[in-house]
Each structure stands twice: as C-alpha cells, then as structure tokens.
C-alpha cells in the first residue's frame, strides 16, 4: 500500500527550537494539520508518523511519557476525524549510532514489517534535510516542509502528483 509518512515535530506540531516537547502542555498542533490528515484519510491513504525523539535517550523524558504524548496526539486528531495509522519513534541520541535514527531507515523497515508498504509509491514529508535523506534512502518521494508552509498546502500538492 502507498502511505504518507510524516515527521512529528515541525510538521504536525510546533517544533521547540533547541528543545523538545516533554509534556502535553507544550504540544501545539500546527494550523490545518487535522484537515490535511483528514484529506489523506478521505483518499484512503494511510498516515504513519516517523520521528526521532532523542529526548528519551538524553534522559529528559521516559519512553512511557513520550508514548502518552504520541497517543494523545493520535486521539486529539482522531476526535477531529483525522486518523494516524501508526507512530514509530527512535528514542536514541545521535551519538548512539543506531539503525532507527533518521536519516537511517530503521523506522521505515519497522513500519514495513507491520504494514504492507509500497515505498516507491509513498511520500515522506519532513522539515529537515535528515528527513528528506531518510525518505530518499527508504525509496519514497520526499517533501521538505518550509517554515512558512503548512501541511495542508503540501498534501494538496502531492495529491495532484500522486500516481
């Protein structure tokens, strides 16, 4: 199946510069994210989040607390009719040199083990060069979300190109 992969911080929610979302009160959805995800849902396109979360490896937050934040994100979006099909996170620090930290493709492989994914027909939308590199290495089309863009405009663009 073709899917749209989304990075979390900077794509779904406001990125905290030089910091991390460590509590739900710090999680702020970006404009029209729910509408963009809902549009993908209406086209029967699964949405999977792929996110580096080094804050766990740095001991700033537990994996359970991170999972609570991600689960709340999924529930809040779902309450608006916007469904996230799955969330995959890398909890490691950059210096751990793990296989799952973007730009490496371990999280994509984890997603493929759980879901029947056609990477060649899929997209990855991220807000960093590492996201674009990871998507390309995984075999997806990629889109680098600029700071002045919102997810809805990008989703509309890629749906026009969708093959």
Say what the pTM is: 0.96
pLDDT of 163 strictly over 70? no
Looking at residue 151, its pLDDT comes to 97
The candidate with the shortest Cα–Cα distance to 4, out of 149, 145, 99, is 145
Residues 6 or more apart whose CB falls under 8 angstroms from that of 64 comprise none
Q: Is 90 exposed, middle or buried (0-12, 13-18, 19+ CB in 10 A)?
A: buried
Distance CA 143, CA 53 (A): 20
Token reading at 144: 């680098």
18-63 pLDDT, tens digit each = 899 999 999 999 999 999 999 999 999 999 999 999 999 999 999 9
pLDDT of 112 strictly over 60? yes
The candidate with the shortest Cα–Cα distance to 81, out of 149, 35, 139, 133, is 35
First vs last Cα of the chain: how many Å apart?
12
| Domain containing residue 114 | 4-161
What's the CATH code of the domain at 47?
3.40.50.1000
DSSP 24: G
Is residue 119 within 8 Å of residue 2, measured between CB atoms? no
**Catalytic annotation on 9?**
yes
Residues 6 or more apart whose CB falls under 8 angstroms from that of 3 comprise 45, 46, 47, 48, 85, 111, 115, 117, 122, 123
Total structural domains within the chain: 1
- Which position has the token pair 């490691």? 92
- Which position has the token pair 């807000």? 127
50-109 pLDDT, tens digit each = 999 999 999 999 999 999 999 999 999 999 999 999 999 999 999 999 999 999 999 999
3-state secondary structure of 151: helix
Looking at residue 88, its pLDDT comes to 98
């Amino acid at each position: 199946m073709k899917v749209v992969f989304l990075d979390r911080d900077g794509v779904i929610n406001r990125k905290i510069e030089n910091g991390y979302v460590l509590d739900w009160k710090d999680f702020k959805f970006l404009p029209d994210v729910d509408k963009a995800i809902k549009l993908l849902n209406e086209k029967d396109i699964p949405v999977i989040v792929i996110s580096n979360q080094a804050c766990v490896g740095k001991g700033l937050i537990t994996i359970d607390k991170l999972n609570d934040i991600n689960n709340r994100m999924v529930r809040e979006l779902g309450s608006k009719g916007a469904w996230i099909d799955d969330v995959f996170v890398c909890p490691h620090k950059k210096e751990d040199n793990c296989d799952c930290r973007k730009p490496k493709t371990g999280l994509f492989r984890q997603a493929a083990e759980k879901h029947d994914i056609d990477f060649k027909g899929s997209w990855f939308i991220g807000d960093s060069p590492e996201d674009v590199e990871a998507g390309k290495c995984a075999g997806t089309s990629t889109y680098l979300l600029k700071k002045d863009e919102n997810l809805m405009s990008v989703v509309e663009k890629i749906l026009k190109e969708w093959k």
